[in-house]
């Protein structure tokens, strides 16, 4: 018994749905990373303010700027042939690769270089528990991508 046209169409539809979900999850990862950067930066400013009460006004101003999005890192997706590349950009337009997401499978990889991921899948975004863990525990510096 061979594959019918209906089977092929159903499989193609499923692949398209997974690819659309992977793109959405990649966008959610970018938002989570930006939020983590702001939260971590505000936490650091509060920590520094405790040690220098005479500069409290400066630190309060800096916290307000962070909440307004000034001086924050931006995370965006560059889509290639096989991967969604999660890019990190500073305020001065310096860019680096944060991670790679396989467009077909949703597998998340640490970046090995500008063009390729490191060997070994770090997380599979199709798995709900792993996806929720990533969104909750991701950090802008990429520490969550290192293997234990």
| Digit-coded pLDDT (tens) for 13-67 | 888 888 899 999 999 999 999 999 999 999 999 998 888 888 888 889 988 998 8
pTM, two decimals, is 0.87
Spatial neighbors of 57 by CB under 8 A, at least 6 apart, are none
pLDDT of 6 higher than 80? no
Alpha helix stretches (DSSP H) within the chain? 5-51, 56-67, 128-137
Helices (H) and strands (E) counted in the chain, each on its own, are 3, 5
Q: Are 108 and 100 in contact (CB under 8 A)?
A: yes
Taking residues 84-103, what's their average pLDDT?
95
């Amino acid at each position: 018994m061979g594959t019918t046209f209906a089977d092929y169409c159903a499989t193609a539809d499923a692949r398209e749905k997974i690819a659309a979900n992977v793109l959405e999850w990649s966008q959610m990862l970018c938002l989570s990373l930006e939020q983590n950067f702001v939260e971590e930066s505000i936490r650091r400013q509060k920590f520094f303010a405790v040690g220098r009460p005479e500069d409290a006004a400066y630190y309060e101003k800096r916290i307000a700027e962070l909440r307004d999005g000034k001086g924050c890192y931006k995370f965006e997706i560059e889509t290639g042939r096989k991967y969604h590349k999660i890019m990190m950009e500073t305020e001065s337009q310096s860019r680096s690769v944060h991670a790679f997401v396989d467009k077909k499978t949703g597998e998340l990889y640490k970046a090995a270089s500008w063009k390729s991921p490191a060997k070994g899948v770090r997380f599979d975004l199709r798995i709900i528990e792993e996806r929720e863990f990533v969104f909750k525990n991701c950090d802008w510096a990429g520490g969550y991508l290192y293997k234990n």
